[in-house]
Amino acid sequence: MQLHQSWQDLSPEARGTSCAMGNFDGVHLGHRSVLDLARGTGPLGVITFEPHPREFFAPKAPPFRLMNAEARANRLAKLGVDHLFELPFGPELSSLSPAEFARDVLAKGLGVSRVVVGSDFCFGRGRKGTVSDLQALGAEYGFQVTVAELIAQAGTPISSTAIRIALSEGRPRDAAAMLGHWHRIEGEVIHGEKRGRELGFPTANMSVAGLHLPKLGVYAVLVDVLTGPQKGSYHGAASLGVRPMFGENTPNLETFLFDFKGDLYGQHLSVALVDYLRPEVKFTGLPALIDQMDADCLQARSLLAAL
């Protein structure tokens, strides 16, 4: 997959694509239906925005994203996308009217042959453009527009909001049913306090800054090491939280990979939340903490072995 971070000065092979367009936060089953409609005989493209428009207009609002840009790109690549147009969302793009966006970005810039959007898609300055407007503008500027209907599960429309609720309530399997894949947190392994190593449970620490936080606690996880000499897939247990035992207050993800030896600092991991095991607890002492970590790992091994 080729990543493009501008709509200008594209190479000839990046133009003329059939594109799905939207924010694709989570790349859930509803997004998959938009992608499937965009597939054709030529290259498949995705048009999305970075940062998410909500982050641009409300930078101080609580984090809401299900995945960062890296995780979204990885997921879209797995789904066969040839060109990802990750358009920089800022003053220039946000000031374009619906007609200017269709003409300057979609037609002249990207040279799209077709655009597929969800039925609730809005675009242009002030989100004034509707799917009907896009269809009319496509006819004027020479590209087709297809509208995908919303996908429902058990009578409830699949949405990023519904997935956030499931994760907030500690229901990762329900979230996965709507996503069509496990909810994953991806990023670089950073240096921590190395307390896990001292306790006999060396962990890979990852930041969750900018992401919607699932319910804090301990999870059974599937781990893909994406880079480095230890690339591969592993089972593990992870703690998502603020480490109350040690008086921390900034959430992060600490993952213990079963049957693993090696240094992961600086490597990129993809950690899938499979089952919620328990909430965070402040223990009376380190022996009690270690006993519980042993029990957590035993439970996680059992659950993951059944997959």
* Distance (Å) of CA 42 to CA 12, 32, 33, 105, 294: 13, 18, 18, 20, 52
Burial of 96 (0-12, 13-18, 19+ CB in 10 A): middle
CA dihedral over 195, 198, 200, 203, signed as positive or negative: positive
Angle 172-179/160-168 helices, nearest 10 degrees?
Answer: 160
Burial of 18 (0-12, 13-18, 19+ CB in 10 A): buried
Q: Is 254 a catalytic residue?
A: yes
Q: 92, 186, 254, 280: which is the annotated catalytic residue?
A: 254
Q: Which residue, 50, 52, 43, 48, is CA-closest to 114?
A: 43
For tokens 């592993």, the residue is: 234
R_g (Cα) of the chain, nearest Å: 21
State the catalytic residues. Answer: 254
